[in-house]
A and B are shown apart, each in its own frame.
Chain A
Amino acid sequence: MLKLLILAIANSRLSLKFQLRLLRVVALIAWRKSRIQHWAKNHPKIAIDSNWCSQAWWGVVAGCIVRRFLNNPSLKPEALALLEPTDWSELDSALAEGGVIVATAHLGPPKFLMNVMLERQMPLLVWTNLGDFPAWLSQSPNATFLDPLPPAERGVLLVKSALHLRRGGILLGAADTKISGHSREVIKFDHCWHLSPGLPALAFKLNVPTFFVLAQWHGNRIRIKCQRMEVSYNEMTDEQWQQAWLDRYWSELEKLITSRPENLRFLRNIDDGRFLQDLGL
């Protein structure tokens, strides 16, 4: 019954805004049938109540619905219209001086930030799973896509990224995914995070600035947080600095995970692991 209801909403001709509002009503009861409440019991430090669980459930399903809109060229503008005004001035100023790393994460609505940055027509290099979005999107002008998943490609991934940064481009990638044999494992929030040293290695060796940029749900709208990630060079070795970079990055993720339940995309297996897959979402 619940699946039918969600399908009816997602496949309706209702506007995306209205679909998301309807989903809020469904979420008030739907989370009770999901695993979110079991997950919630394991994290007593987060102030979890029924409202928290409802928001977490909503965020996971809403992210899938928005992604369907993003993947359809005629519906994409409706998804992008959810974005609140973003202040890019600091990033744009840094870009005027040379290459910039945009470090993002697998939290918040999936693929939203990438689509927004593609719209901005910047010289972009994106690390992304190429099997994860439609082919028409990969034809975007001004953008190059590298897939970090095939092991054979990983060897050249950072070198190509370094060349792009040296030419003054933007590298958009997530550090919470395994792209190197030496990723750091953080087991927290019932999830194993692989923090990869690839982005900090590029930042250190090329001396380019990093911005932590993440699209996040704020109510039924999406806000992009864009802030420069400063890590002091205070008498640190190469390795210590990269560890400090990853610590700083992880603290941003942890802050979001504990404060904004709608952005916990890693709770995607909220039911039997096939819940959203069965819905075609």
Chain B
Amino acid sequence: MTHEELKLMVYEVIQNIANKSDTLIQADTQLGAEGLGIDSVDFLEIVLELERRTGITIRDEQLTADTLATAGNIIRLLEKSC
């Protein structure tokens, strides 16, 4: 999967799970309370759905509070986990 394909997939999953189909998602879009307002349950769904679609397994040591802060950070997390 190319970087571009992964990026589009991440944006689509975020839009679907956060119910933000009208919102333009970009790499620097803030996902938490100060941005799209995604909560912990939605973050869980996003990560599990991305794992399912890509076949990538996220590892614990890669996760910090920042890791899920923006769409771009999630893309980097998946790429590092490949």
User: What is A's interface to B at a CB cutoff of 8 Å?
Assistant: 150-160, 162-164, 179-182, 197-198, 201-202, 205
A182-B32 in contact (CB<8A): no
| Sampled A-B contacts (8; CB under 8 Å) | A153-B65, A155-B32, A156-B64, A159-B68, A160-B63, A163-B59, A180-B40, A182-B39
Of residues 15 through 65 on chain B, the ones whose CB sits less than 8 Å from some CB of chain A are 31-33, 37-41, 43-45, 47-48, 58-60, 63-65
Report how far A158 CA is from B32 CA in the complex, Å. Answer: 14
A152-B44 in contact (CB<8A): no
* Further 20 A-B residue pairs, CB within 8 A, beyond A155-B65, A156-B43: A152-B32, A152-B65, A153-B65, A154-B39, A154-B40, A155-B38, A155-B68, A155-B69, A156-B67, A158-B43, A159-B44, A160-B60, A163-B58, A163-B59, A163-B63, A164-B60, A181-B37, A182-B41, A198-B40, A205-B44
A162-B48 in contact (CB<8A): yes
B43-A155 in contact (CB<8A): yes
Report how far A180 CA is from B48 CA in the complex, Å. Answer: 17
Report how far A154 CA is from B40 CA in the complex, Å. Answer: 6
Residues of A within 8 A of B68 (CB): 155-156, 159
B41-A156 in contact (CB<8A): no
Interface size class of B (residues with CB under 8 A): 20 to 34
Residues of B within 8 A of A202 (CB): 44
B41-A201 in contact (CB<8A): yes
A151-B32 in contact (CB<8A): yes
Residues of B within 8 A of A152 (CB): 32, 65
Q: How far is the CB of B65 from chain A (nearest CB, A)?
A: 4
Q: How far is the CB of A11 from chain B (nearest CB, A)?
A: 40
Residues of B within 8 A of A164 (CB): 60
Report how far A235 CA is from B69 CA in the complex, Å. Answer: 35
Given A162-B48, A205-B45, A205-B48, the answer on whether A155 and B40 have CB atoms closer than 8 Å is yes
User: What is B's interface to A at a CB cutoff of 8 Å?
Assistant: 31-33, 37-41, 43-45, 47-48, 58-60, 63-65, 67-69
Given A151-B32, A151-B33, A152-B32, the answer on whether A162 and B39 have CB atoms closer than 8 Å is no
Looking at A153, A158, A197, A205, the one whose CB has the most chain B CB atoms below 10 A away is A158
Residues of B within 8 A of A201 (CB): 41, 44-45
Report how far A154 CA is from B37 CA in the complex, Å. Answer: 12
Report how far A197 CA is from B39 CA in the complex, Å. Answer: 11
A159-B63 in contact (CB<8A): yes
Q: How far is the CB of A211 from chain B (nearest CB, A)?
A: 20
Q: How far is the CB of B59 from chain A (nearest CB, A)?
A: 7
B58-A159 in contact (CB<8A): yes
Report how far A178 CA is from B60 CA in the complex, Å. Answer: 23
Residues of B within 8 A of A159 (CB): 43-44, 47, 58, 63, 68
Q: How far is the CB of B23 from chain A (nearest CB, A)?
A: 17
Residues of B within 8 A of A181 (CB): 33, 37, 39-40
Q: How far is the CB of A38 from chain B (nearest CB, A)?
A: 36
Which B residue's beta carbon lies closest to that of A166?
B57
Residues of B within 8 A of A154 (CB): 39-40
4 smallest A-B Cβ distances: which pairs? A181-B39, A158-B44, A152-B65, A158-B40
Which A residue's beta carbon lies closest to that of B67?
A156
Report how far A164 CA is from B61 CA in the complex, Å. Answer: 11
Which A residue's beta carbon lies closest to that of B44?
A158
Residues of B within 8 A of A151 (CB): 32-33
Which A residue's beta carbon lies closest to that of B37?
A181
